[in-house]
Structure 1
Amino acid sequence: MARQALAAARAKAEARGVEPGVRKPGRASDYGQSPRRRRWSGPGADPRDPQPLGRLVSRLSAERGWAPRLANGQVFGEWAQLVGEEVAEHAQPVALKDGELTVRASSTAWATQLRLLQGQLLKKIAAAVGHGVVKRMRIHGPTAPSWRKGLRHVPGRGPRDTYG
């Protein structure tokens, strides 16, 4: 039975034009891997060498076009490190659109102080995140409550006109 199977395999090989019993060294199918994979990289740098994870992630984000969105996220995620702990306690980033960062301050005094520090804050952010991510800042104070309630509103001074 084994002789019949061997004879059938030899006949099949002859039909394909392959000489029985002779292997061609260096074919990828002989070793189950590609010829490029078998070579050693040598002592010099090679793209197949192990790479640090940070380098791989930054290359992947650049290839896929994620770099601008990651830089925007870095501004929000590392706000306290970018501007300092004291400023971060009294100001939070709200939006970043087209290079304009909107910041909400806890009081009008802090909004004024942030407007005075705006140039220094932009330099700190540019040094940490990259130039061109934040080009200008729009600083707002706390929002005042709205007295306008409901769909139908009567014009006038609001609740103050009934107090006296």
Structure 2
Amino acid sequence: MPEEPAPELRGIDLARRALEEARAAAKANGKSVGQGRASPVRKLRTGGRRRSGWSGAGPDARDPQLLGALSGTLAKNRGWSGKVAEGTVFGSWPRVVGEDIASHATPVTLENGVLKIAAESTAWATQLRMLQSQILAKIGAAVGHGVVTSLRITGPAAPSWRKGDRHIKGRGPRDTYG
């Protein structure tokens, strides 16, 4: 009597058959095959343990990170740390040096570690020159040492008496204010 051909498998039966064959092949190769999902905890090379399936209730490296921490890491990896520190000096000036100093002085430029500060009066320029070491320490604590190495503090610009192409050397008008 001739043998009847096996009925063609479809759908779920085909999937079960493929799974059984894969398990049999793995068992033949000496690998253990468990039912269901493997344990979510596995050993690291360093001997520690790391969860691989889900994050769970505790903190994990795969958890959402703070934007500030991620942007700091990105700036460091791309070599932007110096520019970010410079931006912090200008963008957070009141927080870096304090509200009192920030209300009377503003940073103008930062080139080669020299921060130029414009004071609102000559009195404040003198006061800031005396506080120069403390201001440098505050800036160093906020953005890191070496970003700002020295300060150049200027007062308001004096009025210029030099008008036009032709002028006479000298100190300008003296007794014209009567």
TM-score, normalised by the number of residues in structure 2: 0.61
The answer to which structure, 1 or 2, has the higher relative contact order (CA under 8 A, 6+ apart) is: 1
Residues 139 and 158 of structure 1: is their aligned pair in 2 closer, same or farther, counting only changes over 3 Å?
closer
Deviations 1:37-72 (A, max 9, x none): xx6367798654433222211111112222111111
Matches within 5 A, 1:1-164: 40=53, 48-150=62-164, 152-157=165-170, 160=173, 163=176
Partner SS, residue 92 of structure 1: strand
**How many pairs are equivalent?**
130
CA RMSD of aligned residues (A): 3.0
Deviation at 1:89?
1.5
Distance 1:162 1:117 in 2: 36
Q: What is the alpha-carbon distance in structure 2 between the residues aligned to residue 50 and residue 89 of structure 1?
A: 38
Indicate the SS of the match to 2:86: helix
Q: CA deviation at 1:162?
A: 9.7
Identity within the alignment, %: 51
Q: Is the 8 A contact 1:72 1:96 kept in 2?
A: yes
Instruction: Give the greater-gyration-radius structure (CA).
Output: 2
Structure 1 distance, partners of 2:99, 2:175, is 45
- Structure 1, unmatched stretches of 5+, are 1-20, 26-38
Change (3 A) 1:74 1:144: same
* Cα displacement (A) at 1:135: 1.0
2:25 corresponds to which residue? none
Which runs of 5 or more structure 2 residues have no equivalent in the other structure?
Answer: 1-16, 23-51
TM-score, L = length of structure 1: 0.66
